Structure 1
């Protein structure tokens, strides 16, 4: 898709975790695509969504821990496929799974996922997606019912099918992500994934053995009770999209919802947590 955008070129010190925090905050105020570089990141927002005050509420720009400078330019036409193709390199996770674009050579890994991310989040390059892939590779998903909440590109749902899941629901509130997930599901010849556009309200009456939620802290704090409520007995909840400092508040809510901590992965201050449902009464397994 070609459209008119405003590009912000940010220089960030220290680069880590400053760039990750900045990207997370920019995503919350309407920025849709990001290209990281050696000095920081270039962030894009549709001109129709841009206002001169769009950066006013960013906490990181007021923080004494980081030095951030920026300039901006108007870009009349952006071919997003060309933008990400210039920067997107294939990644390999634990020697088992490769996430690549269609133009990359076929790898020798057991699980090969082909993704065209466009404006959607989730290529495996970001620490949270990478860690969620690691978590999934450790699970036995054969015959399991799986939810990928905030599916982005659909990469985690696609991996779940390749790992043997019997049925996967992939849900995202963003229309770009919904459309992109549909495309990537077809691209990977998946037949057990259903993609929906919406939020956690779609979970009423649905039950899962594994719930994946790689979103952000505030949405997780709002929706964890919903995730816990649709887990089968001994079901697994995988959470990411937040920092090490957020673990205590996330864990407190999980405990309140009959979820026991199992494992933590961490990369560059980002974390991905695994919980197990311990509620005494769960869905009997019949379809609703």
Structure 2
């Protein structure tokens, strides 16, 4: 399958916003560069009108320029090795690819070969979720990772002592990649494919991790409520700081109270407790 490659030069503060919005319209692989980002989409599924509308929206404020190419039979592993840099989440977590050496000064080491999946720690939402996780007691807990992507949050839960972790994603490539990453980190997790309604997790969970997007979170909030044990914790991200109030308006009537909130690069993350 051929891929369309877009080399997008933009202001640095718009990189993560563009990645998130391009992911919403069918792009499934991204690389950050000195000039901006490189974004990839399957040629057969490319939505030209949605792409043009998105670029028009940001072309002036983000100072965007675009170069477009077709890439045949992409060696994604080679592309990632050329462009993927490790991430230090403060002094707690070192997220690296398998071709990077470990850094023993960090408390937790996570190996992620992301290929085309989303959630590497580079994005502000994943970064904040990892920080929130590191502050919570996972020992012996049952954890659900909704929209797991690369599996990075599920892996972190296991490293923090979770007894059982269930993960799933709607994207077949994410599921394949996530299960590979679980093996790399030697954690006993298996990622399933489907939405939360299709996967239909059973029982109750002590912690639910949901780093998706605002609309999905709002739609699935009642399901999270049903699956979460009393005094269980719900960690949310994937939305902008201006969306916090909308999320809280949805959560509060369902019995959630806000424990903590934070933001990075205009992306928000919340920790909520089920009363």
Q: TM-score normalised to the size of structure 2?
A: 0.94
Tell me, in whole angstroms, the C-alpha distance in 2 between the residues paired with 1:50 and 1:253: 33
Distance 1:51 1:233, change over 3 A: closer
Q: Does 1:12 align with 2:7?
A: no
Unaligned runs of 5+ in 2: none
Distance 1:93 1:52, change over 3 A: closer
Q: Does 1:257 align with 2:234?
A: no
Who is 2:94 aligned against?
A: 98
Aligned length: 272
Q: Deviations over 1:130-180 (max 9, x none)?
A: 111101100110000000111011111011111110100011010011111
Q: Does 1:231 align with 2:228?
A: yes
Who is 2:269 aligned against?
A: 272
How far 1:256 moved relative to its partner? 1.8
Structure 2 counterparts to residues 63-142 of structure 1, below 5 A: 65-108=61-104, 109-142=106-139
The residue matched to 2:49 in structure 1 has which SS? coil
Structure 2 counterparts to residues 180-195 of structure 1, below 5 A: 180-191=177-188, 193-195=189-191
Who is 1:35 aligned against?
A: 31
Contact 1:203 1:226 in 2 (8 A): no
Contact 1:61 1:68 in 2 (8 A): no
Tell me, in whole angstroms, the C-alpha distance in 1 between the residues paired with 2:84 and 2:62: 27
Unaligned runs of 5+ in 1: 279-288
Q: TM-score normalised to the size of structure 1?
A: 0.90
Structure 2 counterparts to residues 128-167 of structure 1, below 5 A: 128-167=125-164
Q: Does 1:61 align with 2:56?
A: yes
Distance 1:65 1:211, change over 3 A: same
Q: Deviations over 1:38-84 (max 9, x none)?
A: 332111111121244341443x6335644423121111231111111
The residue matched to 2:34 in structure 1 has which SS? coil
Cα RMSD for the two superposed structures: 1.6
Q: Deviations over 1:226-284 (max 9, x none)?
A: 11221001000000011101111011111121110011121111111100001xxxxxx
The residue matched to 1:178 in structure 2 has which SS? helix
Q: Does 1:217 align with 2:214?
A: yes
